[in-house]
């Protein structure tokens, strides 16, 4: 089984509020003690918390139910009951939580960020709150309110500086393995990559950026074909996009246009991102063929040539990426 999980659905229930106390003072030397009951404690919250050390929802894969503690009942001497313990669900940065209707509850964008998914029930009021001139010894208190309950859907969208976009076998995994310490599976058949891979790319003067190898797009992916929406959503969270067109493609510019159209069909805002076009596997080309391929593209969309196998053009490619990220 893959160790990358990007979708989890969990049943959650926050804590019930504690009941208020209806205690009456009965000390020996206080003949008219009156109401003395404290309020009930709040039920525990269900809280989503960002964890920069996590990169997958795998730890939640087999979590079916999450339940927070009930608040304690109020006590005598107007003591408020203890709050129920909150339950924290640690998720990677880039995780979105939705309710059963698909509405977004919150989004984790940084390590340590906390979002309350379900509020604990409010504690009941003690009888101290109900005394009046006409009812000086109320013998009743308010019960606590129930907590919230329902299913929460967690979706992870990878946060990376550069997202690799291309058809299967475009050379994305080879590039990632060549410029980072990531070791993605590489083979000469379609959809070798079934889960996104992340790699930290070292740059000049001890600088670095994060590159994400997104599973290959096929024509019609925006309609759910192939891996479809499951991985197209990861492309949304990348700062820039690097299109990879293999050197052995029959029509390089047309392949780029198909990829561009799939992104547009899925989310038109993706085309507002900065992008770089590249021709992978350029070790298969001589200088004359490179000129012919470059001529297929408009002047403002000229591709960069590189080979993840021989290392040709990788320095220039990293320079172009860094310039786009920090230009």
Q: What is the pLDDT of residues 178-199, one digit of tens each?
A: 888 656 454 454 444 456 777 8
**Is 214 a known ligand-binding residue?**
yes
Residue % of the chain over a pLDDT of 90? 48
More confidently predicted of 127 and 134: 127
- Whether residue 148 sits in one domain with residue 168: no
2 in any annotated domain: no
Given a cut of 60, whether residue 311 has pLDDT beyond it is yes
pLDDT exceeds cutoff 80 at 295: yes
CATH of the domain at 309: 3.40.50.300
The distance from CA 129 to its chain's CA centroid, rounded to whole angstroms, is 44
Q: What is the pLDDT of residues 246-281, one digit of tens each?
A: 999 989 999 999 889 888 888 888 888 899 999 999
Do 150 and 85 belong together in one domain?
yes
261 part of a folded domain: yes
Pairing type for strands 95-98 and 149-156 reads antiparallel
Q: What is the pLDDT of residues 7-40, one digit of tens each?
A: 899 999 999 999 988 888 776 666 666 788 899 9
Do the beta carbons of residue 166 and residue 74 sit within 8 Å?
A: no
| 139 located within any domain | yes
End position of a domain, from candidates 113, 129, 156: 156
Is 56 a known ligand-binding residue?
no
* Residue 146 annotated as part of some ligand binding site: no
Q: What is the mean pLDDT of residues 114-140?
A: 90
Report whether 216 belongs to an annotated binding site: yes
- Within this chain, do residues 148 and 199 fall inside the same structural domain, yes or no? no
To the question of whether residue 213 is assigned a binding role by annotation, the answer is: yes
User: Are 140 and 176 within one domain?
Assistant: no
Residue 127's contacts (CB-CB under 8 Å, 6 or more residues apart) are 20, 21, 22, 23, 24, 35, 36, 37, 138, 139, 140, 141
- Predicted confidence at residue 76, as pLDDT, reads 86
Sign of the alpha-carbon dihedral angle for 131, 135, 137, 140:
negative
Whether residue 274 is annotated as binding a ligand: the answer is no
Residue 201 forms part of a structural domain: yes
Which backbone phi and psi does 306 adopt, to 5 degrees? -155, 165
Task: Check the annotation: does 94 bind a ligand.
Answer: no
pLDDT at 236: 80
* Local structure of residue 220 (DSSP, 8 states): T
Looking at the structure, do residues 181 and 242 belong to the same domain, yes or no?
Answer: yes
Residues 185, 154: Cα–Cα separation, whole Å: 26
Is residue 243 located within the same domain as residue 141? no
The annotation status of 132 as a binding-site residue, yes or no, is: no
Evaluate if residue 225 carries a pLDDT over 50: no
**Is residue 248 situated within a structural domain?**
yes
| CATH number, domain with residue 63 | 2.70.210.12
CA distances 117 to 92, 129, 289, Å, are 16, 30, 56
pTM across the whole model = 0.71
280 is in an annotated binding site: yes
Q: Is the pLDDT of residue 312 over 90?
A: yes
pLDDT, tens digit, 9 for 90 and up, residues 140-155:
889 999 999 999 999 9
Residue 201, annotated as binding a ligand: no
The annotation status of 169 as a binding-site residue, yes or no, is yes
- pLDDT-above-70 percentage for the chain: 87
- Of 156, 181, 207, at which residue does a domain stop? 156
278 carries a ligand binding annotation: no
Does the annotation flag 166 for ligand binding? yes
Number of domains in the chain: 2
Rounded mean pLDDT of 39-45?
A: 96
Known binder of ligand: residue 307?
yes
Q: Is residue 212 part of a domain?
A: yes
Mean pLDDT of 225-246: 74
Any binding-site annotation on 170? yes
Strand order of the sheet with strand 7-13? 65-67, 7-13, 149-156, 95-98, 104-107
Range of the domain at 22: 7-156
Task: Check pLDDT > 60 for residue 222.
Answer: no
pLDDT value of position 40 = 94
Residue 314: left (phi > 0), alpha (psi -120 to 50), or beta? alpha
292 band by pLDDT with thresholds 50, 70 and 90: very high
- Asked if residue 104 and residue 78 are part of one domain, the reply reads yes
pLDDT of 160 higher than 50: yes
Q: CB count, 10 Å around CB of 4?
A: 16
Residues 152 and 167 in one domain: no
Same domain for 206 and 309?
yes
For residues 83 and 27, membership in a common domain is answered with: yes
192 marked among binding-site residues: yes
Mean pLDDT value across residues 130-145: 86
231: annotated binding-site residue?
no
Alpha helices in the chain (DSSP H): 172-179, 229-235, 252-266, 287-295, 314-326
Q: What is the pLDDT of residue 9?
A: 94
- Mean pLDDT, rounded, for 116-133: 92
- Is residue 172 annotated as involved in ligand binding? yes
Mean pLDDT (the chain, rounded): 85
Last residue of a domain, one of 102, 125, 156: 156
């Amino acid at each position: 089984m893959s160790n990358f999980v990007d979708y989890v659905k969990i049943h959650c229930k926050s804590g019930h509020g504690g009941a208020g106390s209806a205690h009456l003072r009965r000390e020996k030397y206080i003949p008219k003690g009156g109401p003395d009951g404290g309020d009930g404690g709040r039920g525990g919250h269900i809280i989503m918390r960002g964890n920069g050390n996590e990169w997958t929802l795998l730890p939640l894969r087999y979590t079916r139910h999450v339940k927070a503690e009930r608040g304690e009942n109020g006590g005598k001497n107007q003591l408020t009951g203890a709050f129920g313990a909150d339950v924290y669900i640690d998720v990677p940065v880039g995780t979105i939580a939705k309710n059963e209707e698909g509405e977004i509850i919150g989004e984790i964008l940084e390590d340590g960020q906390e979002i309350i998914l379900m509020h604990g029930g409010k504690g009941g009021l003690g009888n101290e709150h109900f005394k009046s001139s006409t009812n000086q010894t109320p013998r009743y208190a308010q019960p606590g309110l129930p907590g919230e309950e329902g299913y929460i859907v967690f979706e992870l969208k990878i946060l990376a500086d550069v997202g690799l976009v291309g058809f299967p076998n475009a050379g994305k995994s080879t590039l990632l393995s060549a410029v980072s310490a990531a070791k993605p599976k590489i083979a000469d058949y379609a959809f070798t990559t079934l889960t996104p891979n992340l790699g930290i790319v070292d740059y000049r003067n001890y600088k670095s950026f994060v590159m994400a190898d997104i599973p290959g797009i096929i024509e019609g992916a925006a309609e759910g074909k192939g891996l479809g929406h499951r991985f197209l959503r990861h492309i949304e969270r990348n700062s820039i996009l690097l299109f990879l067109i293999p050197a052995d493609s029959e029509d390089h510019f047309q392949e780029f246009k198909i990829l561009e159209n799939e992104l547009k069909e899925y989310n038109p805002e993706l085309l507002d991102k900065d992008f770089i076009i590249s021709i992978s596997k350029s070790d298969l080309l001589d200088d004359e063929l490179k000129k012919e391929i470059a001529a297929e593209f408009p002047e403002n969309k000229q591709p960069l040539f590189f080979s993840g196998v021989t290392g040709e053009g990788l320095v220039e490619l990293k320079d172009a990426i860094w310039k786009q990220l920090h230009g």
